[in-house]
A and B are shown apart, each in its own frame.
Chain A
Amino acid sequence: MSSAENRVRFNILDVLIVLIIIALIIGVFFRNNIVELLSPDKSVEITYTFELKEVDSTRLSYLTQNTPLASRDSGGSMGRIVSVTPSVSVITEYAVDGSIMHLERSGYYDVTVRAVARGYKSDSGVFLDGEVLIAPGMKQYIITATAVYEAIILSIN
């Protein structure tokens, strides 16, 4: 048997298999931030405010500083609460003569919440946690561990 027959020879298929295995190893190693690595938009700290209408006192009590927030629809993180400012809900109604009535809703609160999250700003909008789009005027169902809220995004910094 000649020595030429025993020599291990690599062809293009072997090289491809090795490259695929290396790519898989890199993918597993960076699996948690591969989207961020590939994205041209860098993650920054984003402060935003949102408003909750007619929240009862029980659900208001769940909103405390540093409470984690998430999107009910996507499950993506929406950061943590920085501050909570409640005021008694005031409803605007009209009397039969057309005059405006501002009516307080006892036991219910309109709440302005300031929150901070990691995210990035791109030409197509502001995304929290790489996936939750927020824009002023947009409605979002925001959840904590024990409650859900219908929120309107007011501002983004």
Chain B
Amino acid sequence: MGRIISALNDRKVFDTLNRSSASEGGYITNVSDEYNTVIATVNATAVIENGSYYVGGQPIRAGERLALRLPDFYGDALITAVKVKEG
């Protein structure tokens, strides 16, 4: 699936809902003291098939989830952006 060329490791940010009343309620942004979010930029060579890009048989599209395995880590990742450099 390619190589990580940069990674930004930060506390996980998540929203909770305040339902106290219609006037005071709304989403509250929280910062987790337990979990982190890692935003990694990965460089890989893709093949194009029917207008889609594939790396290792996996379609590479923003919004797709994929199982990511590193030498010492295995987890679920969400593709958030795709940039294509032709050639």
Given known contacts A70-B51, A147-B82, A95 and B63 CB-to-CB distance under 8 angstroms: no
Q: Taking the complex as formed, is A86 at the interface, i.e. its CB lies under 8 A from any CB of chain B?
A: no
The B interface is mostly helix, strand or loop, or mixed, namely: loop
Q: Taking the complex as formed, is B75 at the interface, i.e. its CB lies under 8 A from any CB of chain A?
A: no
Contact yes or no, A148 B21, CB < 8 A: no
Contact yes or no, B21 A97, CB < 8 A: yes
Partner of B63, one of A93, A99, A100, A147: A147
Contact yes or no, B63 A59, CB < 8 A: yes
- Interface size bracket, A side: 20 to 34
Most B Cβ at <10 Å: residue of A56, A70, A95: A95
- Interface size bracket, B side: 20 to 34
Residues of B contacting A59 in the complex (Cβ-Cβ under 8 angstroms): 62-63
Contact yes or no, B62 A146, CB < 8 A: yes
Interface residues of A in 86-123 (CB under 8 A from B): 93-97, 99-101, 103, 105
Residues of A contacting B51 in the complex (Cβ-Cβ under 8 angstroms): 68, 70, 145
Nearest chain A residue, comparing its CB with the CB of B17? A93
Q: Taking the complex as formed, is B9 at the interface, i.e. its CB lies under 8 A from any CB of chain A?
A: no
Contact yes or no, B21 A103, CB < 8 A: no
Residues of A contacting B20 in the complex (Cβ-Cβ under 8 angstroms): 95-96
Residue pairs across A and B with Cβ atoms less than 8 A apart, 7 shown, are: A93-B19, A93-B25, A97-B22, A99-B22, A103-B26, A144-B61, A145-B51
Q: A62-B62, A146-B53 are in contact. List 4 more A-B contacts (CB 8 A).
A: A96-B19, A101-B25, A101-B26, A148-B63
